[in-house]
Structure 1
Amino acid sequence: MDPLSDVLALLKLHSYVSGGFDAGGAWAISFGPHDGIKFHAVVKGSCWIVVEGEPPVQVGAGECFLLPRGRPFRIASDLSVLPIPVSEVLPAEPTGGIVTRNGGGDYLSIGGYFTLAEGPAALLLDALPPLLHIRDTPGATTLRWCVERMRQELAEGQPGDFIVAQQLATMVLVQALRHYLSNRTAEGSGWLFALADRRLHAAIAAMHGAPGRRWTLEALARAAGMSRTAFAVTFKKTVGLSPMEYLTRWRMMRAADRLTTSRLSLAEIGSALGYDSEKSFSTAFKRIMNCSPRQYGRRSSEGVGLAQGSPA
């Protein structure tokens, strides 16, 4: 798999389409804090989105926005309208269909959210801004198709519509991330930004493809097609970590996943990830994850919140 697919798989990403919103006239709705990533795709009309701590942004038909940081927000037809809580708009028992406000007809959007595995969620969330606005451009054709298909699934009520809508939502997230990377102008650091650079992408893909290999800086520089010095400087500036620091953190993310999804021993997990002994593996794990591998596995089985480590 490519690095982005690797990370999304590791995060145990699940997509949910919560329904549509069809509004007429003037309206405004407020939302409280949330977990995971919320998304709204505008099918018809336009709206204002105001995320706590961020300036207002207008989103038009064919565009969407993602909210990765969980901050409270509001959407409105007009910023002067006093918002009502979303609980007053949704039915007592949500059906996943389209909710109508003020007779509908002027504005239509599809909304949903993505849940992530609690421990490594920061892998993705810390690499994204509080508000991700995906504008309507020629390169967003696939995104628009996904949104239109979701609208049809919600409206038609065909057998299997729930599964189809969830898969389409996952495609919306991937397309939005691709669009964000290809059109990013602001400086930032993190593994996600490195994927937009084909040279760094190649090095990260090599690490993800063989995390147990005894990588050296020279070998990774060759994978990137760069000199050792240029690679080290560029990687550190873009990712925010040295190549070997990134490799260690990625190994620990993989180790954490195996601790909760396999019956392998600590020695077997450590050996598969390039460590000569259980002791050296446990030392590296504790440094990154802030707990020992045994503690991590025990807390996970008990459903306790885990210490987070992240290569971004």
Structure 2
Amino acid sequence: MDPLEDVLALLETRSHLSTSLVAGGQWAVRFDAPSGVKFNAVRRGGCVLEVDGVGETIALAAGDCYLLTRPRAFTLSSGPEAAPISARAIFAQVEGGVARVGDGDEVLLIGGRFSFGARAHELLLDTLPPVIHLPAGTSQAEAVEWALAAIDRELLHRPPASTLMAEHLAVVMLIHVLRLHLAREPLAVSGWLAGLADPAVAAALRAMHEAPAYSWTVAELARLGAVSRSTLAARFKDTVGQGPLEYLTRWRIELASRHLRDGTETVASIARSVGYGSESALSVAFKRVMGMSPRDYRRQPG
């Protein structure tokens, strides 16, 4: 598995589609700060997005989509002339699976949110900017457009298992958006995600994710990226924010945490599976990263 696939799987990424929004004339809807990552796609017409704490408004056209990676309130509108109405009031009056606002139907948005496991902020969301806007009309957006069109068909025709299919397609869309954002604006991300834009660092990350229990050395990882040991160490620290072996330790602890939460294996067995020779070795590393022992972590509620 590659790092992005690993992290999304570890975080148990799920999508939850919401009611579509149809709007026309002069209109504005104010949304509370979402839980998880909010997304919307404009399927018809255009509107303006304004997010609390983000200085500039974003003009959205048909085919555009965006992700909100922080729990911030936001407004969708036809422009600054309209007084916002609470989204709760609009979505409390849904008819035929569609919420309506304003006068007309020239604008159509579909949307929802993505939910993740407890470690989502540290592992993924904090590496991303607050808003990711992916405009239509570019070659990079074709894959996202395919996923959005497929979601449209599922929601319009409602074949068997349409909700489940649409939610899985939304996760496909999320992966495409993250890929394209990384390719388009590598400097707008940080941490391990930024490392994927550097070929040598990406090679080291892939190797550690493919074999996390292996006793990697910086020299071995550097050879995979066809650079010197010192070059890899410097570039890894500059992009990811920590050294290669520190990253490996933290990834092993994330894997151990998942085993402790979800399984019944002994701590000693988990230690061996993630690359530690003994329970005590895992315990020392685990406490340094998580602030508690593996056994105390396992006893936590939830």
Fold conserved (TM > 0.5)? yes
Segments of 4+ moved more than 6 angstroms: none
How does 1:104-143 map onto structure 2 within 5 Å? 104-136=104-136, 137-143=138-144
The alignment's TM-score, normalised by the length of structure 2, stands at: 0.95
Per the TM alignment, residue 223 of structure 1 is displaced from its structure 2 partner at its CA by 1.7
Other-structure match for 2:175: 174
Q: CA deviation at 1:99?
A: 2.0
Q: Is the 8 A contact 1:20 1:98 kept in 2?
A: yes
Partner amino acid, structure 2, of 1:240: G
* Residue matched to 1:214: 215
**Cα deviation 1:265-288 (Å, max 9, x = unaligned):** 111111222212211211111111
| Kept in 2: contact 1:17–1:96 (CA 8 A) | no
TM-score (ref. length: structure 1) = 0.92
Aligned residues: 300
The structure-2 alpha-carbon separation of the partners of 1:17 and 1:187, relative to structure 1 and needing over 3 Å to count, comes to closer
Deviations 1:212-256 (A, max 9, x none): 111111111112221101100001001111111111111111010
RMSD across aligned C-alpha pairs, in angstroms?
Answer: 1.6
The 3-state SS of whatever aligns with 2:187 is coil
Distance in 2 of aligned mates of 1:287 and 1:146: 42
Tell me the residue number matched to 1:70.
71
Stretches of structure 1 lacking an aligned partner (at least 5 in a row) = 304-312
Describe the superposition over 1:45-65 as per-residue Cα deviations: whole angstroms up to 9, x where unpaired. 111111111021111111100
User: How far apart, in 2, do the equivalents of 1:205 and 1:170 lie?
Assistant: 22
Which amino acid letter does the alignment assign opposite residue 250 of structure 2?
Answer: R
C-alpha deviation, 1:96, in angstroms: 8.9
| 1:35-46 mapped onto 2 (5 Å cutoff) | 35-46=35-46
SS at match of 1:12: coil
Letter in 1 for 2:122: A
The one-letter amino acid of 1:39's match is: F
Quote the residue 1:13 is aligned against: 13
3-state secondary structure, aligned to 1:89: helix
Alignment of 1:268-283 (within 5 A): 268-283=269-284
Larger deviation, residues 149-158 vs 133-142: 149-158
Q: Percent identity?
A: 41
CA distance in 2, matches of 1:95, 1:224: 56
CA deviation vs aligned residue, 1:115-160 (integer Å, no higher than 9, x gap): 0011344211111111110112122112112112212222222221
SS in structure 1 opposite 2:151?
helix
Identify the residue that residue 242 of structure 2 maps to in structure 1. Answer: 241
Distance 1:176 1:89 in 2: 28
In the alignment, structure 2 segments of 5+ residues that lack a partner are none
Contact 2:128–2:190, Cα closer than 8 Å, also in 1: no
Structure 1 range deviating more: 119-128 or 213-222: 119-128
User: Is the 8 Å Cα contact of residues 129 and 189 (structure 2) preserved in structure 1?
Assistant: no
